[in-house]
Amino acid sequence: MVTNFARATGRQMTPDTTEINFTDKAKISNFAKASVSLCQRCGIINGYEDGFESVIQKVSANKWPSSSTDAARLVFTRDWGHTLCFDAKDAVTVDSEGFITSVAADKDVAIPSLDEGYVLAQRSRRQYEGDFFDSCQVGDRISLDLNYDGSSTQDIMLSVAAGPRLVKNGQVYGGLNTYISEGFSDPNITTYTALRMCIGIKPDGNLLIATATCTLQELSSILVKLGCSDGINLDGGGSATLYVGGQWLCGPQSRKLNNMIVFQ
């Protein structure tokens, strides 16, 4: 994250020290090795006195744990809320400079204000890399390195997880095989006619949001006819809601929604 931020804002990171060969260097993900090395040579990270640098391989952000046994490591920012809203098995609060300010266990934790830090937490212990939180102490420094798989750019400010993909390069895209490969196997999504929501982008960069009662393949054709160069499906059915200019174009639904896309 540090190196990506420096690159995106035009800041120069100038190495001023020799490289340290961390004892556990083999555990650092390939995509992170160059960034870890650069941060170390710039004096941002130095590892532990025993030559080890505690590393975890994968972290998600602002995501609700699927169950009380979900051991995913999660970063929570104020965009999530004022607290985690669940009892974390392990949690550390990190300030804007990357320093741990508190360590907690088996409790809900307050999330720092926007731009003042974040909370790194897990709801349950995992069988591997389980000693990471045990090694965390107040005053230690944590460095996050972000990598967006499949993206041609790394300075992404906001992303939305949805799908499946419907339009690619201005052409109808996808079918049952691609839907399944993207993780969508429910026939209510992949096959049947249903109330749909989708979002597309036009060649000039303008976004288009549409709703229709149809199949996914029919929705692909609709987006192409509306001039979209790319497009994806959003959650439909009981989640299909579209409110524009003080009017309900679709909905309201009886289901309470925990996330929305809002344009101002």
* Length, in residues, of the chain: 264
Higher-confidence residue of 190 and 50: namely 190
- Whether a cis peptide bond, with omega within 30° of 0, leads into 203 is no
Q: How confident is the model at residue 73 (pLDDT cuts 50, 70, 90)?
A: confident
Helices (H), the chain: 2-8, 30-41, 132-135, 176-181, 187-190, 216-225
- pTM of model > 0.75: no
pLDDT tens column, 185-208? 899 999 999 999 999 999 999 999
The answer to whether residues 25 and 54 touch, using CB atoms and an 8 Å cutoff, is no
pLDDT tens column, 201-234? 999 999 999 999 999 999 999 999 999 999 999 9
What are the DSSP calls for 223-255, one per residue? HHHTT-SEEEEE--GGG--EEETTEEEE---SS
What Å distances lie between residue 3 and 33, 62, 104, 153, 155, CA to CA? 12, 22, 28, 14, 11
Residue 94, helix vs strand vs coil: strand
pLDDT score for 57: 58
CA–CA distance, 15 with 43 (Å, rounded to integer): 8
CA–CA distance, 213 with 143 (Å, rounded to integer): 46
pLDDT score for 77: 92
pLDDT score for 52: 47
Q: How confident is the model at residue 164 (pLDDT cuts 50, 70, 90)?
A: very high
